[in-house]
Structures are given as structure tokens and as C-alpha cells.
Amino acid sequence: MKSAGRMGIRYMQKLHASNVPKELVEKGQNRVIEASLTLIRERAKLKGELVRALGGAEASTSLLGVPLGHNSSFLQGPAFAPPRIREAMWCGSTNSTTEEGKELDDPRILTDVGDVPVQELRDAGVDDDRLMSIISESVKLVMEENPLRPLVLGGDHSISYPVVRAVSEKLGGPIDILHLDAHPDIYDAFEGNKYSHASSFARIMEGGYARRLLQVGIRSINKEGREQGKRFGVEQYEMRTFSQDRQFLENLKLGEGVKGVYISVDVDCMDPAFAPGVSHIEPGGLSFRDVLNILHNLQADVVGADVVEFNPQRDTVDGMTAMVAAKLVRELTAKISK
């Protein structure tokens, strides 16, 4: 993925070196951006119209893929995750019913508006400032089609910033966030990259998009991570004290007094015994059932969510982590849709 991204950058450098007028380049980029947003807009309209015509849905989950991996500090494989998650969801090895009894083949429960064409945008020379805005705008296009609510398939964790920003701005105020992860992802600018997957929650908190941020499953945190947590008033629950915190975390009530609750699940929140297909393997994590207990028992109006950092290039031959990520998506769908 880094090489593919560099190809797009080199292409733009060649254009500049050939003295192609800047205005001409920008016009081309704008056409690619508009085409990208038009695709998401029209698919969201189609799915929204279908859900409204069927009736009876107060909130309906809609999948949006963001195959972005270049802001990862180690491996870029998460860019390949959205199609693998979808494949696992519908592979036929299990039925389409969630644990709480919701039927995923009912479009009032789940629809899919496709992917933001990240690589095509980068190939056109779109930089990260504009790319993050395009991701935010894509999320807002989904939310405009009431009762659709976004469940975003990453991608690395950098995508959470533009997604949360969009959800907060569209709803008109801050939200509460439940963040499950081995890492706090709250560096100010990891390796000098303000959009690093290790800095997404710093951007969210400094932007005022979250009132309350709970981070669960943390077991790889340094001095800066703790200092940033204190700076932003983050509630960090580390795995070393999980046995003491379990009862509280499995009975959370969030979102009172704000616009709703957003859930961000980094697949590496789980112990690698359950999810080996991640870029940053950190032993000593949550079990899959720990994660489901937290999600199932959460009392909240969930207005959006993401599942990030699944790396198909590190998965087992039989796609074990893809199935884990797919089930997370299924159970989050059940939590959002009503």
C-alpha cells in the first residue's frame, strides 16, 4: 500500500515537473472528488429510500468502507480489510441472525453504501487534509438519509477522526465515545503525522467532538499516552486492572445529555489468540466474549461505529480474524438498528 500511495505522489510530482498548470491539476482532482461523493450520495439515497419505503425503522445501520492504510505506522494491510469483512459476513458458514435475534438480511436492519475510493483519490494527488474532509462528507451523506446511521469498515484507526467529526457536526454537538483498543491512539502527532492512526483521538478531543472518551483494553501505553489522557480527561481502563473494572465496564450507561454514543473497535483490543490478523500484536488482551459482553450490556443510543485495524495480510489461512471482525460488525449492527 505504501508503494501504491507513492505511485500517486510520484505521478503528481511528474505533472508539476512538466509544468502542468496548477489550475488544471486542481480541476482534475475536483472531478475525481465529486465523482467519489456522487457515488456515495446516490447509493445512500437509494438505500435510504428503500428503508423508508419498508417502514418501521427508527435507526438503520449502513456500512461504509474506508480502505485507508497509509497512516499506519507499521503495516498498511488494513487498507485491504473492508472487502474481506464483507466476504466473511456473507460467506454462508453461519446464518444472518445476530445473537440478540436481529435479521441482517432485512434492509431495515442493514444496508451497504460501498467504499470511499481512497486509493483513487490519492492517485489523483488528493492530500490528507482533503481526504479527511472527503471521508467526513461521505459519512454526512449517509446520515442525511434518515434513518441511516454509519458503521464504518476500516482501514487503519486514522479514519475514526473524520468519521467522529462528521457524526458530531451532523448531530450538532459532542458525543460520548466507547473506544476498545490495545493502544490509546492519543499521541499529539506520532512520527510527525497529525493524521497518524496513533493520533486520531488527540484530534477528536482537541476538536471538542467528544464529551466523554472511555478507552478499554489498553495494554500498550507510554508516558505521553497517559499525559495526553489526563490532558483531555480520558477515562483509560488498562488490562492490568480489567478484573477489578469488569463489572463496571460490562454495565455501562453512556450518552445522557449529549447527542449519542459512538463505538470504535480496534480489532487488536482482543488478545491475539482470538484475533491474530492485526498489525500490532499485543498479548494479554480482551477475549471476544469480553468485548461482546461490553457491547451487549451497554445502555446507549448508538449513533455510529467503526471496526478498524484488521489486517488481512496477517490473518490465518482460514480467515479467522476476518470472521471475528465480521461478527463484531454484525453485533454492532444489532446495537445501532432499532
pLDDT digits (tens, 9 = 90+) for 48-77: 999 999 999 999 999 999 999 999 999 999
Judged against a pLDDT cut of 80, whether residue 18 lies above it is answered with no
Judged against a pLDDT cut of 60, whether residue 4 lies above it is answered with no
| AA letter at 219 | R
Contacts of 182 (CB under 8 A, 6+ apart): 217, 218, 219, 220, 266, 268, 269, 280, 282, 285
Give the three-state DSSP class for 203.
Answer: helix
pLDDT tens across 161-175, in order? 999 999 999 999 999
pLDDT tens across 212-244, in order? 999 999 999 999 999 999 999 999 999 999 999
- How confident is the prediction for the chain on average, in pLDDT? 95
pLDDT of residue 8: 53
Judged against a pLDDT cut of 60, whether residue 299 lies above it is answered with yes
pLDDT of residue 202: 98
pLDDT of residue 20: 76
Report the binding-site residues for Mn(2+): 157, 181, 183, 185, 266, 268
pLDDT of residue 77: 95
Q: For the whole prediction, is pTM greater than 0.85?
A: yes
Give the three-state DSSP class for 223.
Answer: helix
pLDDT of residue 1: 43
pLDDT of residue 14: 61
Judged against a pLDDT cut of 60, whether residue 6 lies above it is answered with no
Give the rounded percent of residues in the chain with a pLDDT score beyond 70.
95
Helix axes 320-336, 288-297, angle to 10 degrees: 10
Report the binding-site residues: 157, 181, 183, 185, 266, 268
**What is the CB-side half-sphere exposure of residue 211 using CA atoms within 13 A?**
13
pLDDT of residue 273: 97
Could you list the beta-strand ranges (E) of 239-284: 261-266
Judged against a pLDDT cut of 60, whether residue 146 lies above it is answered with yes
Largest CA distance in the chain: 63
Q: Which CB contacts under 8 angstroms, 24+ apart, belong to 132-136?
A: 132/161, 132/162, 132/195, 133/162, 134/33, 134/36, 134/37, 135/66, 135/68, 135/159, 135/162, 135/163, 135/166, 136/162, 136/163, 136/165, 136/166, 136/169
